[in-house]
Amino acid sequence: MHWLQALGRSAISSINGLGRATLFLVDLVACLGELRRRFAEVMAQLHNIGVLTLSIIVVAALFVGMVLGLQGYNTLVDFGAESSLGLAVALFLTRELGPVLSALLFAGRAGSALTAEIGLMKATQQLDAMEMMAVDPMRLVVVPRYVAGVVALPLLAAIFSVVGLFGGYIIGVGLLGVDSGTYWSSIKEGVDVFDDVFNGIIKSIVFGFVVTWIAVFQGYDATPTSAGVSRATTQTVVAASLAVLGLDYVLTALMFGKV
């Protein structure tokens, strides 16, 4: 009966965790009203989370776009349809790869940093110290980081898609000889602003909410030891990545399933 007990214990603890995370989110949303007073802190976090993630996003997007251009061309040329290369690259990027890959990179680069930072604050009792001074750490520490993450990810995803398009352009037009006008006109013909572009942006907004939520919660909920912080950081990257991929399927089925 040992393994049954262990199964039960882990189920109860994960349900407990979900409950704590939900309560945490409710607390967090309740504090959003005073955001105006924390403007400078939000700025600083936007720099930490957004601007410093930009380089990895741009480099990754460029290479993803170039790979899409190369692979897409080699597949399409068999059907004599290499004029649709731009369209293929654009649909992949706007619908899927832009939001999903930037969310995964964001979880790895910014999410883990958020968890480690908040977790260490907890481990070194900085959060307790704030409470002693009647400063709510939720308002001072968590809310600005959360808001910055939610704002940053959709912007990063949009930048990812655009840079990826140019990556595909470099390979498709520069190297493989697809006509430059055809590349852009096939994109404009085939990509719908609501069906494809806006749905992609909605995806990235959802991912921003979820990834940042997981990151700040894991930090706030971490066991205040060095091992606990390290486990929480790992947990953030794993849970956020899985959540992004799972949610991506659900959102895709909702948005594009009927086509």
Partner 1 sequence: MASRTIETLVGCFVAAGIGAVAFMALKVGGWDSLGKSESYVITAEFSNIGGLTAKAPVTLAGVAIGRVEDITINRDDYSALVAMRIDSRYDNLPEDTSASILTAGLLGAQYVGLEPGADDFYLEDGGKIQITQSAVVLEHLIGQMLFNQAGGG
Range 10-69, binding partner 1 (CB under 8 A): 40, 43-44, 46-47, 50-51, 54
Give the nearest distance from C-beta 184 to partner 1 in angstroms: 7
CB atoms within 10 A of CB 172: 28
Q: DSSP class of residue 222?
A: S
Query: Which contiguous run of DSSP H or E holds residue 207?
Result: helix 199-221
Phi first, then psi, for residue 169 (nearest 5°) are: -65, -45
- Total residues in contact with partner 1, by rule CB under 8 A: 37
Nearest to residue 70, comparing CAs of 186, 178, 189?
178
Q: Is 212 in the site for partner 1 (CB under 8 A)?
A: no
In whole angstroms, give the CA distance from residue 96 to residue 62: 15
Token code pair at residue 128: 């307790």
H helices of 77-179, in order, are 85-91, 98-106, 112-123, 126-132, 137, 143-169
Token code pair at residue 140: 């001072």
Give the nearest distance from C-beta 66 to partner 1 in angstroms: 18
Task: With contacts defined by CB under 8 A, name the span among 108-116, 129-137, 174-182, 195-203 that binds partner 1.
Answer: 195-203
Q: Is 159 in the site for partner 1 (CB under 8 A)?
A: yes
CA angle 43, 166, 88 (to 5 degrees): 115
Give the nearest distance from C-beta 245 to partner 1 in angstroms: 23
37 burial type by CB count under 10 A (0-12 exposed, 13-18 middle, 19+ buried): exposed
187: amino acid identity, one letter: I
Burial 216-248 (b: 16+ CB within 10 A, else e): bbbbbbbeeeeeebebbbebbbebbbebbeebb
Give the nearest distance from C-beta 126 to partner 1 in angstroms: 21
Q: Is 199 in the site for partner 1 (CB under 8 A)?
A: no
Q: Is 176 in the site for partner 1 (CB under 8 A)?
A: no
Closest CB to partner 1 among residues 56, 162: 162
Closest CB to partner 1 among residues 167, 200: 200
Q: Is 178 in the site for partner 1 (CB under 8 A)?
A: no
Judged by CB under 8 A, the residue of 1, 26, 133, 193 near partner 1 is: 193
Judged by CB under 8 A, the residue of 64, 94, 100, 221 near partner 1 is: 94
Give the nearest distance from C-beta 193 to partner 1 in angstroms: 3
Task: With contacts defined by CB under 8 A, name the span among 14-22, 110-118, 198-206, 211-219 that binds partner 1.
Answer: 198-206
Range 62-91, binding partner 1 (CB under 8 A): 79-81, 90
Q: Summarize as ranges the residues that interact with partner 1 (CB under 8 A).
A: 40, 43-44, 46-47, 50-51, 54, 79-81, 90, 94, 151-152, 154-156, 158-159, 161-162, 165, 184, 187-194, 196-198, 200-201
